[in-house]
């Protein structure tokens, strides 16, 4: 089974990460007859049918070869969410979108994000944001940059190109080869830059098309999982729920978890703990929340890629950033220890594993 790639949005504060995620979500909701958006815990899924619909006005989007079921966007943008979502040898995020405000260019957190992406070997796309702020920009009311560019005058096109090539220059200084997405011929070697406006939505179609195409072509092996295999995920957050006590919000990137499965995770005290899943929760669709007391659906099982809330005993000290592994034999302790060994090694508090 091929799962959805998990995508994290990164970039300097105020460059438009939150606005871009909101625009992607609202664009998908507008395409609701094609399936809209599926809300997860801590993540939003744009199904492939919706992406096809949003990209339908674009030429050169070949939908036939696409097998991935959609894109799963982590709702919290930023470096912290990305680095907290650890999996062995990297991040749970398969792909990142690096947002750069074209009116400002690179800023310290842009460079920091690139350093992290390089360290985790995560492929990324640059969203050159706020193109609507270029003097003379005409809002085309389209989600496609191709369409929008046809309406701009030569001065605007010149300014946009200049800004894009400033980004190319900065990426070059950091050792990355990049180009405007439409000029890229080798997507493995070159980073694509997509001009977008998170405010008006222009370029969102190209961004979704590229994220889909790159995932399909270069990440297919990684995304090919055994549907019923051992559940593996990472703790995004621990919370207290009035009815359930402590719960953990988990991004599941492999396999399936069922109610009554035993899971293992690390605690903030540096121990490996196990517990039995009592409840698996996902948000209800908006339409159902209106006439219901609960915002959640209780599920029997959940499969990757997914954002899910887990209710169980023993979660009081569950540590965000810890792996969550379904216990199928007694190899889990070793696996968790070796995984959280690296977690503690990179965290500021040096806790000794017991």
Beta-carbon contacts of 349 under 8 Å, excluding residues fewer than 6 positions away, are none
x/- binding map, residues 64-93, to ligand GDP, per CB under 6 A? -------------x----------------
- Give the residue, chosen from 129, 142, 303, 322, that forms a contact with ligand GDP under the rule CB under 6 A: 129
Site string for ligand GDP, 188-207 (x = CB under 6 A): ---------xxx--------
In terms of CB distance, is 197 or 216 closer to ligand GDP?
Answer: 197
Residues between 210 and 229 with contacts to ligand GDP, criterion CB under 6 A: none
The strand pair at 70-74 and 38-39 is best described as unpaired
- What is the Cα–Cα distance from 230 to 251, expressed in whole angstroms? 14
H/E run at residue 148: helix 145-150
Residue number with CB closer to ligand GDP (47 or 203): 203
Tokens 């079921």 label which residue? Answer: 69
Handedness of CA 135, 140, 145, 151 (dihedral sign): negative
Stretch that binds ligand GDP, among 124-132, 246-254, 256-264, 307-315 (CB under 6 A): 124-132
Beta carbons of 244 and 278 less than 8 angstroms apart: yes
Size of interface with ligand GDP, in residues (CB under 6 A): 16
* Cβ-based nearer residue to ligand GDP, 77 or 231: 77
What is the distance between the alpha carbons of residues 340 and 324, in angstroms, rounded to a whole number? 10
Minimum distance between the CB of residue 34 and ligand GDP, rounded to whole angstroms? 24
Largest CA distance in the chain: 66
- Closer residue to ligand GDP in complex, CB, 130/170: 130
Stretch that binds ligand GDP, among 9-17, 44-52, 108-116, 285-293 (CB under 6 A): 9-17
């Amino acid at each position: 089974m091929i799962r959805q790639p998990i995508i994290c949005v990164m970039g300097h504060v105020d460059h438009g990460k939150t606005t871009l995620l909101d625009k992607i979500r609202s664009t998908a909701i507008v395409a609701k007859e094609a399936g809209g958006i599926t809300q997860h815990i801590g993540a939003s899924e744009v199904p492939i049918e919706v992406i096809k619909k949003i990209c339908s006005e674009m030429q050169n989007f070949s939908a036939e070869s696409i097998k991935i079921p959609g894109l799963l966007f982590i709702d919290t943008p930023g470096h912290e969410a990305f680095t907290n979502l650890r999996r062995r040898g990297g991040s749970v995020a398969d792909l990142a979108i690096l947002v750069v405000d074209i009116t400002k260019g690179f800023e310290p957190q842009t460079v920091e994000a690139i350093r992290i992406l390089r360290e985790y070997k995560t492929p990324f796309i640059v969203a050159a944001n706020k193109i609507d702020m270029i003097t003379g920009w005409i809002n085309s009311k389209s989600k496609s940059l191709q369409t929008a560019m046809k309406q701009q005058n030569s001065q605007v096109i010149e300014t946009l190109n200049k800004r894009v090539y400033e980004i190319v220059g900065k990426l070059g200084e950091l050792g990355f080869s990049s180009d405007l997405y439409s000029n890229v011929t080798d997507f493995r070697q070159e980073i694509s830059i997509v001009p977008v406006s998170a405010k008006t939505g222009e370029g969102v179609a190209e961004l979704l098309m590229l994220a889909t195409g790159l995932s399909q072509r270069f990440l297919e092996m990684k995304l090919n999982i055994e549907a019923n295999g051992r559940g593996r995920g990472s703790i995004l957050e621990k919370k207290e729920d009035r009815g359930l006590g402590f719960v953990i919000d988990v991004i599941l990137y492999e396999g399936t978890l069922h109610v009554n499965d035993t899971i293992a995770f690390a605690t903030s005290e540096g121990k490996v703990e196990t517990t039995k899943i009592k409840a698996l929760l996902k948000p209800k669709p908006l339409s159902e929340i209106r006439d219901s007391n609960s915002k959640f659906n209780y599920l029997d099982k959940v499969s990757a890629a997914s954002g899910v809330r887990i209710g169980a005993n023993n979660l009081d000290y569950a540590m965000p950033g810890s792996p969550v592994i379904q216990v199928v034999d007694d190899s889990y302790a070793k696996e968790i220890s070796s995984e959280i060994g690296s977690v503690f090694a990179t965290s500021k508090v040096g806790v000794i594993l017991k």
